Structure 1
Amino acid sequence: MTTLPTTVVVPTIGRPSLDRLLRALEDAPGPRPAGVIVVDDSTTRAGPAAARNRGWRRVCTPWVSFLDDDVVPAPDWLERLAEDLAAATADVAGSQGRVTVPLPPHRRPTDWERSTAGLETALWITADMTYRRSALAATGGFDERFPRAFREDADLALRVMRRGGALVRGRRGVVHPVRPAGSWVSLQAQAGNADDMLMRRLHGPAWRRAAGAPPGRRPQHLAATAAAAAATALGAGGHRRTALGPAAYWLASTARFAADRIALGPRDHREVARMLATSAVIPAAATWHTVRGLIRHRHAGPWRGAPELVLLDRDGTLVRDVPYNGDPQRVEPMPGAKETLDRLRAAGIRLGVVTNQSGVASGLLTLSEVGRVNARVEQLLGPFDTWEVCPHGPGDGCSCRKPAPGMVKSACAALGVAADRCAVVGDIGADVVAAEAAGATGVLVPGPWTRPDEVAGARLVAPDLPRAADALLGGVW
């Protein structure tokens, strides 16, 4: 059976629909994906952007296929996906599937159903979207400052295209049922206005046209909210006659907004009542979230994302430095090391160790003893994806001993990670120099033994390992 050059990544918050999706993939005839990764975001609630990043960073295939947990792939989805990937030329960075939203045939759709149906014509939505892994790595993946399933896909697409990648629409398809929603779902959706402000900050005022997004009603909502605020303030100040003007404007604007929405949907009394109630408060909610987004994202810069690979020095960084230690019982983790590594692993970042062990060359250690100490480090701190050990002495002229870049380059090659998506954390200048020489980013975590000139020469310095992780996860690297 043919294996596709892609891994399926599904972020989930525990919806029952996930089982239906996984069964559809399992029962589909034809080729199989290289793997399926389900990222559980039900407890952390970090958002779909962060969940997808956690998934694709663990992928080694050339392509990554994203599916939402509430879609149902067509029976021939895998066969069509194989055709879409085979047809992708070298310039194609992403392929979008076709989304069908079933609507009730016996009546007009409700406001929420119409909103969901908009997915059929939306560009680059990750309900069914496949990207080259190299494109995700080059852009840092999804911008985790988008906390909702809204705009994060358009933002990524614009960044991929800005780097010269082409996005195409494939032949495969999924069905996206309309999820049940409460009466106030349209009001809750106004939180997306804050994400629009981040889009504007990152992509300029013309971002809607570039992303194929509809114009929206933000100017009308702002005017209606301003009129309501003016009428309230004037009335409270005793200027009731003057307040009639802005009050009338607010009433007319709200009536027009409600009428436009009611005209498109079913005319039963419950839907009409829902449209009237929400139309009265949506403008204020939209304005509030717009202002909130403007303030929150006023200094937002380009998204870099977390590194794919973090390499760490062993002695003095991960564990207490015991000179020429060959005794596993003397291994003692540095404060916060286990919790920090667990945070990085939870973000989908691969980890490795790069360590000079010149005691082997000088006869003070054996490689077997180094291996037992390393095994104890893993026992205490958790697994690492790669270990790089240099057994040579300072005068041996090898290319692996830090500050030479050999171990950093070897670790990146072993895991298929570009050096510019790797960070190296260490406690002395040699760690930083090795990183920079390899094309990676060095982060210095000084100890009492670190020389002042080494601190002064490092571009990135963190006072301890947990705060070094904060910088890496926050894209400050």
Structure 2
Amino acid sequence: MPKVKNIFLDRDGTIIKEKHYLSNPQEVEFISGAKETLLEMKKRGLKLFIITNQSGIGRNYFSLEDFYKVQKRLDSLLGEEIFTHTAFCPHTPEDNCNCRKPKTGLFAALKEQYHLNPEECVVIGDKVSDILWGKNLNFALSCLVLTGHGSKEITRLNLKLPWQPLHYQKVETDFPLLIARDLKAAWQGIKDLDYV
């Protein structure tokens, strides 16, 4: 198995607290441990990508400019350039576009631009759409965090788990899946399971 070189991260509910159609940059707030985890990932030499569905734009809840302001605030709070690229889908589910996760359109452009090999990629997110996105792309690993929507979304996976308060747990499915308490725990699992 090749070592992971690229980590794709959902934004809202994974890195920053879920605020339901976040449009105010002053409301950007890291989930506990996320900032330090991102800095450690970057220090390890990994390329970090944000990959996010932002249907609030398509629903006219906020503007493209609002999205960029929120992103700029996130970047400034990190204190250094962490993300190789931020890719987002502005469409609503009803638009039936090819870029809304779990569809893979956003990855196609990034794959060419950054010479990405799916076997060297991991996705971390708080929704089943994030996990299926990784599955659809044959990523080395998909990680569902229980922050944001994760604790509700996990029931959609119909997993038979001996459930307990956990740090992280590798799950046997038809694709590589890790369930983790939060981004920090997902990163610990990625390291412990020898993906990096």
Q: Per the shorter chain, which TM-score range? A: 0.7 to 0.9
Name the counterpart of 1:395.
Answer: 94
* Alignment partner of 1:411 out of 110, 113, 125: 110
Deviations 1:38-83 (A, max 9, x none): xxxxxxxxxxxxxxxxxxxxxxxxxxxxxxxxxxxxxxxxxxxxxx
Deviations 1:263-318 (A, max 9, x none): xxxxxxxxxxxxxxxxxxxxxxxxxxxxxxxxxxxxxxxxxx3x110010000000
Name the counterpart of 2:144.
Answer: 444
> Cα gap change, 1:343/1:326 in structure 2, threshold over 3 Å: closer, same or farther?
same
Structure-2 separation of matches of 1:455 and 1:474: 25
Residue type of the partner of 1:405? T
Name the counterpart of 1:426.
Answer: 125
Does the residue aligned with 2:91 lie in a helix, a strand or coil? coil
> Cα gap change, 1:425/1:409 in structure 2, threshold over 3 Å: closer, same or farther?
farther
Identity of aligned residues (%): 30
Structure-1 separation of matches of 2:194 and 2:111: 20
RMSD over aligned Cα atoms: 1.8
The aligned runs of 1:127-276 (5 Å cut-off) are: 140=2
Contact 1:423 1:443 in 2 (8 A): yes
Deviations 1:418-472 (A, max 9, x none): 1111000001111000111112131111234324133726722112211211222
Name the counterpart of 2:180.
Answer: 462
Structure-1 separation of matches of 2:152 and 2:65: 28
Contact 1:361 1:393 in 2 (8 A): yes
Alpha-carbon offset, residue 351 of structure 1: 0.3
1:369 aligns with 2:66: yes
Residue type of the partner of 2:101? K
Residue type of the partner of 1:452? T
Structure-1 separation of matches of 2:15 and 2:135: 20
Residue type of the partner of 2:87? E
Residue type of the partner of 1:387? T
> Cα gap change, 1:474/1:412 in structure 2, threshold over 3 Å: closer, same or farther?
farther
Contact 1:315 1:322 in 2 (8 A): yes
Name the counterpart of 1:379.
Answer: 76
Name the counterpart of 2:189.
Answer: 471
Unaligned runs of 5+ in 1: 1-138, 141-304
Residue type of the partner of 1:473? K
1:343 aligns with 2:43: no
Structure-2 separation of matches of 1:365 and 1:376: 16
Using structure 1 for the length normalisation, give the TM-score. Answer: 0.35
Name the counterpart of 1:357.
Answer: 54
Does the residue aligned with 2:51 lie in a helix, a strand or coil? strand
Structure-2 separation of matches of 1:311 and 1:409: 13
- Highest CA radius of gyration, 1 or 2? 1
1:333 aligns with 2:51: no
Structure-2 separation of matches of 1:314 and 1:371: 13
Unaligned runs of 5+ in 2: 160-172
1:311 aligns with 2:8: yes
Structure-2 separation of matches of 1:437 and 1:406: 11
Using structure 2 for the length normalisation, give the TM-score. Answer: 0.82
Contact 1:444 1:455 in 2 (8 A): no
Alpha-carbon offset, residue 354 of structure 1: 0.4
Structure-2 separation of matches of 1:471 and 1:450: 20
Contact 1:446 1:455 in 2 (8 A): no
Name the counterpart of 1:221.
Answer: none
Structure-2 separation of matches of 1:411 and 1:446: 27
Structure-1 separation of matches of 2:17 and 2:155: 20
Name the counterpart of 2:156.
Answer: 453
> Cα gap change, 1:476/1:429 in structure 2, threshold over 3 Å: closer, same or farther?
farther
Residue type of the partner of 1:462? A
> Cα gap change, 1:311/1:322 in structure 2, threshold over 3 Å: closer, same or farther?
same
Alpha-carbon offset, residue 411 of structure 1: 3.0
Residue type of the partner of 2:35? K
Name the counterpart of 1:324.
Answer: 21
Residue type of the partner of 1:422? C
Residue type of the partner of 2:71? N
> Cα gap change, 1:455/1:329 in structure 2, threshold over 3 Å: closer, same or farther?
farther
Does the residue aligned with 2:73 lie in a helix, a strand or coil? helix
Structure-1 separation of matches of 2:153 and 2:143: 13
Deviations 1:381-404 (A, max 9, x none): 342001101000001111110111
Deviations 1:301-336 (A, max 9, x none): xxxx3x110010000000001111111000001110
Does the residue aligned with 1:329 lie in a helix, a strand or coil? helix
Does the residue aligned with 1:333 lie in a helix, a strand or coil? coil
